[in-house]
Structures are given as C-alpha cells and as structure tokens.
Structure 1
Amino acid sequence: MSIKLLFFSSILLLETFISLAYNEDCDGLRREVEFLKEEFSNLRQYTSQRIKDLENELEAERSKRYLVDGELDIEREVTKLIGDVNGIKQGMGSSYVRWGRTQCGANASMIYKGYTGGKWYGDTGGPANYVCMPEDPQWAKYLDGFQDIGNRMYGTEYEDNYESTFNPFSVHRANEDAPCVVCKSQRAITVMIPARTSCYTGWHLEYTGYLMTMSRHYHSSSEYICVDKDPEALVHGSQDENGNLLYLVEAACGSLPCGPYVNGRELACAVCSK
C-alpha cells in the first residue's frame, strides 16, 4: 500500500472515529436534556401543588382567625352587656328607711334625713304608718291654723325603755325624739325581716335592730318598723310631749307557735338587700 493511500485511509478512519464520538456526545446530551425536561416538569407540578396547598392552609388560618376574632368580639359584647346590666341595677337600686339613725350604712347612700313622724298616739282614726319627715320642708298652698277635719303629723318619741324596764339599747331613750334617714341601696331589692338579726343566704345586711310600734293599750293602730339597735335622738330635747310613740314588741305564743318563738321575748329585726 502506498504512503498516500495509507494517509488517506488514516484520515478516513479518524473522521469515522470523530463522527462516532460526536454522535455519542449528542445522544448523551439529548438524554441529559430529556432528563432535565422531565425534572423541570416534575418540579413545576410539585411547585404548583405546593402553592395550592399553601393557599388552602392560608385560607384555613384566615377562617380560624376570623372565628377566634368573632369569639373575642362576642366575649367583649357579653362583658359590655354585663356591665350595662350592672349599671342599670345600680341606677335602679332600692330604698329603705333606717329608723332611729341619721346616717346610712357603708353599703348605702343617704337620700335625706329627718324626723320620725306619725299621728297622735291616742287618735282612733287616720293612717297607721310611720313616715320619715325631712328637715327642710317645702310648702305649697296652705292656710295657717288647725282645721281639724283631716289628720295631724306629730314627731315620735321612744317609750317603754325607762330605767325600771327592760332596755335592749346601749343607752336609755325614754321620751327622746326619734330621727330617721332614707337610704338608697345599690341592690335592687330591700326587705325588712322581723325576728332576725342576720339575713338569709345571698342577702346583704343593711342594718339590724328591734321591732317597735305603738302600744297595744292605745286605741291608735300602727305599723311595725325596725328601729336601729343603736338608736340616736334628736337634739331639741327629751320632754314628754308624746305625739306618735314607739314601744318594743314581744312575741306572744299561741297562734304564733312556741318552739321557734318564746312567749314574752322582745323581737329583733333586720333590713336586708339583694
């Protein structure tokens, strides 16, 4: 074989090797490209699904937050409503008379103070109740002088607690004039309970004292009131001028059952609020 022929044969063989190597590289590159395409497609699908999942989670969180905020709003509304109701209760409240005193207790505020009034102890007609007369009366139309066709308003004296008789109070108040004070409780209901020195469960004590009224020996009728256990007296004197009177009340067994009650025992009382 000539050198020339050998040279050309070598060139042809080299070209063949180069062509085969190129084709193998192209096939490898094609496979690599196809692999990358597949990976990219998978990644895009994963990314798309992940975005959807995150959107769903976000929406769920928003719904949950809305629910919590709603619950908080409801809680705030309930708290406000309770406050409004308590405010209404405090605005409404209730009132009572503290007989024998010029000041209310710590749980109440004073509306006014004055004098315990009522009819003359010997009158057979007219009203039976005690009233708290204010210290600063105002007058409408009037005609001075007794007309004696209606009734009269008198002051009220403590009676039946002389040195020689039983006296449950810390001082003797015979013939002294009884004051009174009208009080406003923050609680909605106030009640006087006879024969008690304390309130029942759930009730608050405004004050305690003794049951008093007119004497049974007079023809005049009267109501029972709770006079404070430490009664005060008005400062304008202790003359025996009578007017309306206050006597202690004793339990009388019979129709009123003995056992819980004791015959002849003086009755206490309590004013309670709720």
Structure 2
Amino acid sequence: MNMTFFSTVILICCLISLSDAGGKFNIEDNGEYGGNVEQYVWNIISPGAGFGNVPSNKCIRDKLLELLNNSSTVYTRWGRNDCPDTSDLVFTGYIAGGNGCYKGAGKNAQCMPTTPDKSDRLQSGSGSRAYLYGAEYETAGYVSAFAQVNNGDAVCAVCRARGKSTNLMIPAKRNCPSDWTKEYEGLLMGSKSTYYGSEYICVDANPEMRQSSTGNNIGFLLYPIEGKTSPLPSPYINGYELSCVVCTV
C-alpha cells in the first residue's frame, strides 16, 4: 500500500466520522456532489461507480479499516535475530555480502536465511563464479555493546511492520520524524575505507552474533562509519561515528 492510498484512507475515515457526528463538510466541487459526504467518499474508493447505491457509512468504514490494518511494510533489522514489538518476524538469518578485497563483489548486503533451500542447478563444475561471504563485526576498541561482538558473525532479521506502508533508514539520526514509528536505532556500518565499497546499513545498537563465532575471518566486514567534515559541514564532527534509525509510517 502506498502513501497516497494510506493518506486517503485516513481522510475518508475522518470524513465518515464527521458525517456520523452530524458535522458539516464543504466539498469543494459541490456542484457535482451537492455536499453529500457519503457520495464523495464512495466515488473516491469506487471510481466510475456513479451516483446512488452507496453503502452505509459503517460498511465503508469497516472495509477501509480492514485494508488499513492489513497493510504492511518489510524491512531488515541488521544485527539482531528478532523484531521489535511493532513488527512480526518473517525470518532470521546471517548478514552476507561481497569480500571487500575483490572488485567483482556485490555492493549490497543480504540477509541470508538460517535454513536455505539447496539449489539443484550448477552445484559443481568449471566456470566463473561470484561469491557471497558471511559478515563479521570489526569493532575492536569499542566500549559499547559492539565491543562484545568484535569478530563475531553478524545476524539479521526480516521484519513486517503491521499497519504501515513505508519504511525509511535515516543516517546520522537516533529518532524519527513526528508521526513516524521508531523500529530501531543503531550505528551506520559498511566496508573499510581501503576496501572496495559496500552498501551502508543500520546495525542495531544492541547487536547480536552467531553463537561461538569469534574467529577472525576475511569476508564481508562491517566497520563503523565516521563522518569527514571536509566537505561534510558543521554540525557534523570529524571522526565521530554516525548513528542511524529505521522508521515506519
């Protein structure tokens, strides 16, 4: 469900409530609808329906609320294997991506399910291949929760936010705009400056790792991202790690 429809549902519910309460609503094109709120609403949600045969307000409202409650948006919670209370868990997995030492690697991070379905095609044989590597946190020297997961295999969860239509990751912020729901906050992470680049992802501020996985392996390595104030302007501070937040509405 897109934002236009989401906003329309809210508007329609308000109009119906206003009509039920005996309030007045000045429809701009009153020459066509004659001030009839029910007819106006019905023509929004049923284009081409024409005039007449308008269901009751309760019927329209119930249908709209059903559509609204069934809407959702899906996002990845990087660094955790669970979802916030505002969301349902779709699946858990391990973060994976390209090796920063190789230029042919993919740039985007993947949340790989913990129970993969094995392919029955091209299982072996000659020919060129692309490679996907598991991710590790590279957070040595930190005093926060990230210090506890250094060199650990990074996990992830795919989450479905109920009753929402849009999700957004905002770098350098810890809180969401008004009217948005905060799903989680964290630390912006990506590849090391001397490696080939990767996607920036928002890793949860309380990260988890795969149990007993602190071996130092070279794969898809996640480093905290620092701001550089040339040319990133004030109030950014040179050398400070960048926070992030994931929001839904």
TM bin (shorter chain)? 0.7 to 0.9
- Whether 2:110 is the aligned partner of 1:131: answer yes
| CA apart distance, 1:237 | 1.9
Question: Contact 1:103 / 1:110 at 8 angstroms: preserved in 2?
Answer: yes
Which segments of 5 or more consecutive residues in structure 1 lack a partner in the other structure?
Answer: 1-67
Partner Cα separation in structure 2 for residue 181 and residue 234 of structure 1: 13
Equivalences for 1:1-274 in 2 at 5 Å? 77-145=56-124, 147=126, 149-159=128-138, 161-162=139-140, 165-169=141-145, 171-186=147-162, 187-218=164-195, 220-258=196-234, 260-274=235-249
Which amino acid is 2:191 matched to? Answer: M
Question: Contact 1:213 / 1:248 at 8 angstroms: preserved in 2?
Answer: yes
**TM-score normalised according to structure 2 size:** 0.73
Question: Contact 1:89 / 1:188 at 8 angstroms: preserved in 2?
Answer: no
User: Identity of counterpart residues, as a percentage?
Assistant: 33
| CA apart distance, 1:170 | 5.8
Change (3 A) 1:86 1:245: farther
Which amino acid is 1:131 matched to? Answer: Q
| CA apart distance, 1:142 | 2.3
Q: SS of 2:188's equivalent?
A: strand
Report the equivalent of 2:30. none
| CA apart distance, 1:120 | 1.5
Question: Contact 1:117 / 1:153 at 8 angstroms: preserved in 2?
Answer: yes
Question: Contact 1:114 / 1:134 at 8 angstroms: preserved in 2?
Answer: yes
Q: SS of 2:193's equivalent?
A: coil
Which segments of 5 or more consecutive residues in structure 2 lack a partner in the other structure?
Answer: 1-18, 23-37, 42-54
| CA apart distance, 1:102 | 0.6
Partner Cα separation in structure 2 for residue 141 and residue 253 of structure 1: 50
Partner Cα separation in structure 2 for residue 78 and residue 266 of structure 1: 53
What does the per-residue CA deviation read over 1:138-166, in whole Å, with 9 as the maximum and x for residues that have no partner? 1333233475613111110000x21xx23
Question: Contact 2:99 / 2:105 at 8 angstroms: preserved in 1?
Answer: no
Q: SS of 1:129's equivalent?
A: coil
What does the per-residue CA deviation read over 1:65-92, in whole Å, with 9 as the maximum and x for residues that have no partner? xxx99x8xx6983344333233223323
Change (3 A) 1:87 1:272: same
Which amino acid is 1:250 matched to? Answer: E
Partner Cα separation in structure 1 for residue 130 and residue 93 of structure 2: 20
What does the per-residue CA deviation read over 1:206-250, in whole Å, with 9 as the maximum and x for residues that have no partner? 0000000011111x2201000000000101421112210100001
Question: Contact 1:90 / 1:188 at 8 angstroms: preserved in 2?
Answer: no
Aligned residues: 199
Partner Cα separation in structure 2 for residue 238 and residue 273 of structure 1: 33
Q: SS of 1:86's equivalent?
A: helix
Partner Cα separation in structure 1 for residue 175 and residue 126 of structure 2: 46
Structure with the largest fraction of helix? 1
